[in-house]
Amino acid sequence: MSPSSSEQKTHVWLRDEDRSTERRTALTPKNAQKLIENGFAVTVEKSSKRVCPNADYEAVGCTLAEPRSWVNAPKETVILGLKELAETPERLPHRMIHFAHIYKDQTGWEKEMARFVNGEGLLYDIEFLTNENGRRVAAFGYWAGWMGAALGAFRLLERRAGRNEITKGVSPFESQEVIIEQLKALAAEVDGDLPTAIVIGAKGRSGTGASQCLEAIGMKVTKWDIEETRLLDRKALLSHDLMVNCVLMFGPGLLLANKTHLADAECNMKVISDVSCDPFSDFNPLPIYDAPTSWEEPVIEVARNGAGDAVEVTSIDNLPSLLPAQAAEEFSDQFITSLLKFDEGIEWQNAKAKFEQIRKRADL
């Protein structure tokens, strides 16, 4: 039901992503239409990379605007995006919704918080939009895990087949089915058993996606979660060929492996896909690399294992953008329920409380 004309409509402004490889969106045209039907005003910045065409937003009643014109939007406008912002403007006066990656001591977190505080704005970090049970209301976790496992398996299987293609770069795939076909074809190039894999955090969204991807191509998957990592059997962990880490750390306490462990004589590990991808955090359970990998350079060597084979890491921090259409549609369908309640739902209260907690910690 739409609000009466006397009520102030919330104006949601979907910004173009600053990151050139980010093709996903938090708001599809279908769900933008739901906002409009419920009394919201919706502006959408034109984008040449967003997976949803500009014309589809215009067709459902959105107002189109130029990229980055949000910086001049009225202060009461709510700015919606996905990934972190460019370094300008220095002051952020709006209420903003996106994944900022600054709440776990990541490099530059205090500077980023200062942009909001000095501009008198507010960040609703999507990662901390949680319900009364502490569960996130919307997440890309399944797709991140699925795609991270796919890239790890791709690199491992092509090495097994004597190939070296993925190191030349990656770009978005058409569908899950296409990826599975490619992986099965790679696996079939070499006779014998497939390499072994272990998924850490297997019970979560990301871990579920990772396990299902690997099992779809016929790999044997060991699944570990809190119970198995509480008293870590590192020898068993490193006996696998592939590790997919899906553990999201909010504090210290878990070390999966460092470079010394990887160099141990009994280590068999060859490829690590770090889906959680938090190298800038003090809580990183894989302190073996210092920056995410990229679409241009998706894999880096970090060590040599006990047999002298390379141990490589893939750690792309926007994995679901490699399957942008499927990932965006599922996320937006999860997220629209919360957007329709902005900013009164418990998830918005929780995200605001988290912002205030971090602001006080930064002494701002």
Strand pairing of 300-304 and 242-245? unpaired
- What architecture does CATH give domain 141-322? 3-Layer(aba) Sandwich (3.40)
Q: Quickly tell me which residue has 């990826």 as its tokens.
A: 179
Please name which of 112, 92, 96 lies closest in space to residue 104, comparing C-alpha atoms.
Answer: 112
Return the pLDDT at 253. 81
Residue 5 has pLDDT above 60, yes or no: no
Dihedrals phi, psi of 344, to nearest 5 degrees: -100, -20
pLDDT average, residue stretch 298-302: 98
Are 298 and 268 in contact, with CB atoms under 8 Å apart? Answer: no
- The single-letter code of the amino acid at 237 is L
Report the alpha-carbon distance of residue 116 to residue 255 in Å, rounded: 33
Annotated active-site positions, please? 83, 101
Beta bridge partners of 222: 198
Q: Comparing 11-128+324-361 with 141-322, is the CATH topology the same?
A: yes
Report the alpha-carbon distance of residue 159 to residue 165 in Å, rounded: 9
Q: Quickly tell me which residue has 């579920």 as its tokens.
A: 208
pLDDT greater at residue 281 or residue 197:
197
Confidence class for position 105, pLDDT limits 50, 70, 90: confident
Strand pairing of 310-314 and 11-14? unpaired
pLDDT greater at residue 2 or residue 32:
32
Report the alpha-carbon distance of residue 168 to residue 297 in Å, rounded: 7
Confidence class for position 7, pLDDT limits 50, 70, 90: low
Confidence class for position 6, pLDDT limits 50, 70, 90: very low
User: What is the percent of the chain where pLDDT is above 90?
Assistant: 90
Burial of 98 (0-12, 13-18, 19+ CB in 10 A): buried
- CB neighbour list of residue 237: distance below 8 Å, 6 or more residues apart: 198, 200, 224, 243, 256, 257
Summary mean pLDDT of the chain: 94
Give the pLDDT confidence of 120-146 residue by residue, as tens digits.
999 999 999 999 999 999 999 999 999
3-state SS track over 320-340:
HHHCHHHHHHHHHHHHHHHHC
Report the alpha-carbon distance of residue 155 to residue 174 in Å, rounded: 19
Residue 350 has pLDDT above 70, yes or no: yes
Domains of the chain, by residue range, sit at: 11-128+324-361, 141-322
Our measurement of the distance from residue 151's CA atom to the centroid of its chain's CA atoms, rounded to an integer in Å, reads: 15
Report the alpha-carbon distance of residue 113 to residue 120 in Å, rounded: 11
DSSP state of 128: G
CA dihedral 29, 327, 26, 142 (to 10 degrees): 150
Return the pLDDT at 174. 83
User: What is the percent of the chain where pLDDT is above 70?
Assistant: 98
Are 26 and 58 in contact, with CB atoms under 8 Å apart? Answer: no
Residue 250 has pLDDT above 80, yes or no: no
Give the pLDDT confidence of 168-221 residue by residue, as tens digits.
999 999 889 999 999 999 999 999 999 999 999 999 999 999 999 999 999 999
Predicted TM-score of the model (pTM): 0.79
CATH among 3.40.50.720, 3.40.50.2300, 3.40.630.30, 3.40.50.1820 for 11-128+324-361: 3.40.50.720
Dihedrals phi, psi of 149, to nearest 5 degrees: -65, -40
pLDDT greater at residue 241 or residue 105:
241
What SS3 class is residue 301? strand
Helix axes 141-160, 324-339, angle to 10 degrees: 160
First to last CA, the chain: 40
Residue 9 has pLDDT above 90, yes or no: no
Residue 149 has pLDDT above 70, yes or no: yes
